[in-house]
């Protein structure tokens, strides 16, 4: 009866997901760039479509849609496709586009991209060695080998992102952390910025005029370098190049200062906008949510620590435990089986939707920040790779949130992976990423300190020249 599956149930949503991925790519990610290589867009949309199908299959599992054999079939099929994409297609194209950007290797790009891919496969395989991923009864070329490695990378990513999110989220949402910024602060900074620009302009005018005069007098324009250059500059008239290099140094320092001032002004403007936003209704709502999220983040950190310190892995999932608590302590009679199915559906659904949405938003922000017209193809493919690995490992970790009867399909399909390992690994990386954040605090202090030093230097330079 596998072949009797109505094609609508699985094919139609998949086409929808593909379409959504396509639109997201075109409208959001690439809205400022020109899509010259359509293969990138296709690969991205395929990765997105098959990742979403995995989540869809979990939902089907919980709701009991389709027969269990057909579900199993679709799981296996989907898994093979997505592993194929994540391990063969995407890395190959990443290598191809990176190699195409390098002028020297441009001619032999197919050859070099194969070389890159083989290097990737080597490291990918080596990745499995230090981890107790598999029970020893499996052979070399089995699907568990591939999934386990993909899982490790994906879980690491998820934990890093979660850790970062846990610390960043209260800071972003809550208005408690917003410094007070007034319009006059911004105006003062802008005035300084423009004054700095004016100084740069006047110094550059001096340089340009001096150069022109030197040129007209027939002197050498370029700086004197090297041993003979030094000798020559001692004996020749000092008015020309010596002055020039001094002014040039001042200009360089001023330009660095102007960049700093620009970034500070952008920062202040952004803070001012956030303050204005926090006064709106939407802003207040998110502020309120922020308090809840902070408590949730603190709880997560606490639980991760406990899990590692006391070396335990949660045996029951939140849903069943919640229902048990309700039944036992509140004395309310529940049809546990019925409710656990629905509640876990809702819970899993929320987790899926928020993680997809969160991931897409983060990807978009990241993409805008670092891409340029040359590297956009490579970056989008890297993001597709991260997205695919993230989704695969979400499925692995989601197992923990589901009641026992639904875990079977995941366990069955993904083979005998040491799931507990993944949960422990998640907690470890989560805590490490938190620790990393607290370590950057001194770096922030150093950054502020160096900015102060730069300002002092600028004042010294100004007093010397005026």
**Positions that interact with other proteins (CB under 8 A):** 31-34, 183, 186-187, 190-191, 193-194, 197, 200-201, 204-205, 207-209, 212, 255, 258-259, 261-263, 265-267, 269-270, 272-273, 368, 372-374
Rounded CA Rg of the chain: 29
Geometric angle at alpha carbon 235, from 231 and 238, rounded to 5°: 110
Torsion over CA of 62, 64, 69 and 71, rounded to 10 degrees?
Answer: -60
CA dist list (Å): 70 to 66, 179, 194, 348: 7, 57, 68, 22
Q: State the nearest-atom distance from the C-beta of 40 to other proteins, in Å.
A: 15
Q: State the nearest-atom distance from the C-beta of 193 to other proteins, in Å.
A: 6
Closest CB to other proteins among residues 357, 374: 374
Residue 465 phi, psi (nearest 5): -90, -20
Buried b (16+ CB within 10 A) or exposed e, 409-426: bbeebbeebebebbbbbb
Q: State the nearest-atom distance from the C-beta of 320 to other proteins, in Å.
A: 45
CB neighbourhood size of 461 (10 A): 16
Q: State the nearest-atom distance from the C-beta of 307 to other proteins, in Å.
A: 39
Closest CB to other proteins among residues 15, 263: 263
Closest CB to other proteins among residues 195, 420: 195
Buried b (16+ CB within 10 A) or exposed e, 125-140: eeeeeeeebbeeebee
Q: State the nearest-atom distance from the C-beta of 53 to other proteins, in Å.
A: 31
Closest CB to other proteins among residues 262, 339: 262
Cα–Cα nearest to 414, from 401, 397, 427: 397
Q: State the nearest-atom distance from the C-beta of 226 to other proteins, in Å.
A: 19
Closest CB to other proteins among residues 47, 265: 265
User: What SS3 state is found at 136?
Assistant: coil
Closest CB to other proteins among residues 102, 346: 102
CA atoms within 13 A on the CB side of 426: 25
Q: State the nearest-atom distance from the C-beta of 30 to other proteins, in Å.
A: 9
Q: State the nearest-atom distance from the C-beta of 437 to other proteins, in Å.
A: 23
Closest CB to other proteins among residues 201, 303: 201
Tokens of 427: 């907690």
Closest CB to other proteins among residues 31, 462: 31
Question: Could you say which DSSP state residue 134 is in?
Answer: B
Identify whether the C-beta of residue 54 lies closer than 8 Å to the C-beta of residue 78. yes
Closest CB to other proteins among residues 68, 101: 101
Q: State the nearest-atom distance from the C-beta of 275 to other proteins, in Å.
A: 12
CB neighbourhood size of 35 (10 A): 14
């Amino acid at each position: 009866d596998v072949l009797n599956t109505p094609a609508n149930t699985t094919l139609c949503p998949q086409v929808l997901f593909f379409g959504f991925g396509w639109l997201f790519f075109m409208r959001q990610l690439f809205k400022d760039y020109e899509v010259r290589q359509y293969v990138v867009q296709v690969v991205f949309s395929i990765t997105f479509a098959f990742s979403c199908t995995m989540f869809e299959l979990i939902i089907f599992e919980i709701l009991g849609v389709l027969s269990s054999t057909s579900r199993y079939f679709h799981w296996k099929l989907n898994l093979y496709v997505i592993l194929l994409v994540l391990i063969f297609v995407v890395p190959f194209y990443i290598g191809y586009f990176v190699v195409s950007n390098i002028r020297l290797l441009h001619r032999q790009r197919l050859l070099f991209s194969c070389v890159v891919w083989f290097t990737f496969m080597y490291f990918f395989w080596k990745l499995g060695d230090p981890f107790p991923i598999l029970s020893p009864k499996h052979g070399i070329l089995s699907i568990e080998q591939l999934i386990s490695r993909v899982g490790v990378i994906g879980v690491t990513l998820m934990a890093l992102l979660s850790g970062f999110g846990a610390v960043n989220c209260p800071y972003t949402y809550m208005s408690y952390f917003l410094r007070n910024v007034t319009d006059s602060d911004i105006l003062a900074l802008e005035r300084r910025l423009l004054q700095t620009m004016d100084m740069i302009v006047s110094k550059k005018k001096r340089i340009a005029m001096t150069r022109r005069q030197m040129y007209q007098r027939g002197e050498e324009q370029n700086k004197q370098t090297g041993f003979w250059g030094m000798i020559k500059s001692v004996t020749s008239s000092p008015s020309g190049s010596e002055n020039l290099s001094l002014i040039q140094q001042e200009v360089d320092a001023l330009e660095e200062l102007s960049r700093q001032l620009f970034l500070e002004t952008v920062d202040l403007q952004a803070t001012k906008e956030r303050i204005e936003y926090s006064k709106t209704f939407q802003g207040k709502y998110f502020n309120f949510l922020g308090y809840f999220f902070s408590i949730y983040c603190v709880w997560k950190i606490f639980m991760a620590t406990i899990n590692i310190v006391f070396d335990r892995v949660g045996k029951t999932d939140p849903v069943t435990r919640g229902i048990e608590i309700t039944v036992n302590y509140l004395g309310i009679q529940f049809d546990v089986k019925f409710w656990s199915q629905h509640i876990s559906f809702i819970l899993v659904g929320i987790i899926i939707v928020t993680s997809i949405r969160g991931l897409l938003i983060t990807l978009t922000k990241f993409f805008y920040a670092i891409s340029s017209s040359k590297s956009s193809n490579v970056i989008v493919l890297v993001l597709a790779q991260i997205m695919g690995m993230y989704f695969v490992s979400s499925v692995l970790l989601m197992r923990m949130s589901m009641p026992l009867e639904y875990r079977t399909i995941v366990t069955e399909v993904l083979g005998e992976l040491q799931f507990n390992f993944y949960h422990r690994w998640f907690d470890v990386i989560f805590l490490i990423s938190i620790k990393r954040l607290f370590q950057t605090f001194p770096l922030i202090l150093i950054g502020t300190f160096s900015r102060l030093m730069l300002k002092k230097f600028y004042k010294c330079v100004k007093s010397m020249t005026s």
